[in-house]
């Protein structure tokens, strides 16, 4: 099971069906997740599953937009929040997830899938190397030390 964070708030669980996952184990897993009050989606056992395969490139592309000077942190988030009706912009979301976590996932996608579209943004790498890991560290794309 791949739980979404924060687990108590997010209702979705991705159920990952591995090559050797029996129908009984799969059914038991769905039943267990539903008893926890979760809604399930099923994904094949591939890097990123569904959620991270779609979400992390979105966040990474937002980092590239900032890196390339296409917009400010605030304008990138505002554009996506108000223009696509998502509850928070991609850079705010990255800060909540943790930039170190986002970078680690992008590295797995890039290495395991071998596609340059998953190459981590250099700005993301630089921020993590500088200790900017998001809300949990007091600084990410936004400054939370105030």
b or e along 64-77 (b: 16 or more beta carbons within 10 Å of the residue's beta carbon)?
bbbeeeeeebeebb
Ranges of beta strands (E only) in 1-143 are 2-3, 12-17, 39-44
**3-class DSSP assignment, residue 3:** strand
110 is known as an active-site residue: no
> Of 2, 107, 110, 119, which residue is the catalytic one?
2
* Distances, alpha carbon 62 to alpha carbons 67, 79, 123, in Å: 9, 11, 11
Angle (CA) 9 14 19, round 5°: 160
Sequence-distant (≥ 6) Cβ neighbours of residue 132 within 8 angstroms: 99, 139, 140, 141
Q: Output the six-digit token pair for 83.
A: 């223009």
Q: Which residues are catalytic?
A: 2
């Amino acid at each position: 099971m791949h739980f979404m964070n924060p687990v108590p708030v997010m209702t979705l669980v991705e159920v990952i069906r591995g090559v050797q996952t029996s129908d009984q184990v799969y059914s038991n897993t769905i039943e267990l997740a539903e008893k926890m009050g979760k809604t399930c989606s099923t994904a094949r056992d591939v890097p990123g599953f569904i959620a991270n395969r779609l979400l992390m490139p979105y966040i990474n592309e937002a980092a590239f937009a900032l890196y390339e000077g296409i917009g400010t942190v605030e304008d990138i988030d505002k554009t996506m929040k108000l223009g696509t009706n998502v509850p928070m912009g991609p850079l705010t979301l990255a800060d909540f997830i943790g930039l170190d976590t986002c970078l680690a996932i992008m590295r797995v996608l890039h290495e395991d899938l071998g596609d340059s579209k998953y190459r981590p943004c250099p700005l993301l790498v630089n921020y993590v190397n500088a200790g900017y890991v998001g809300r949990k560290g007091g600084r990410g794309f936004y400054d939370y030390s105030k």
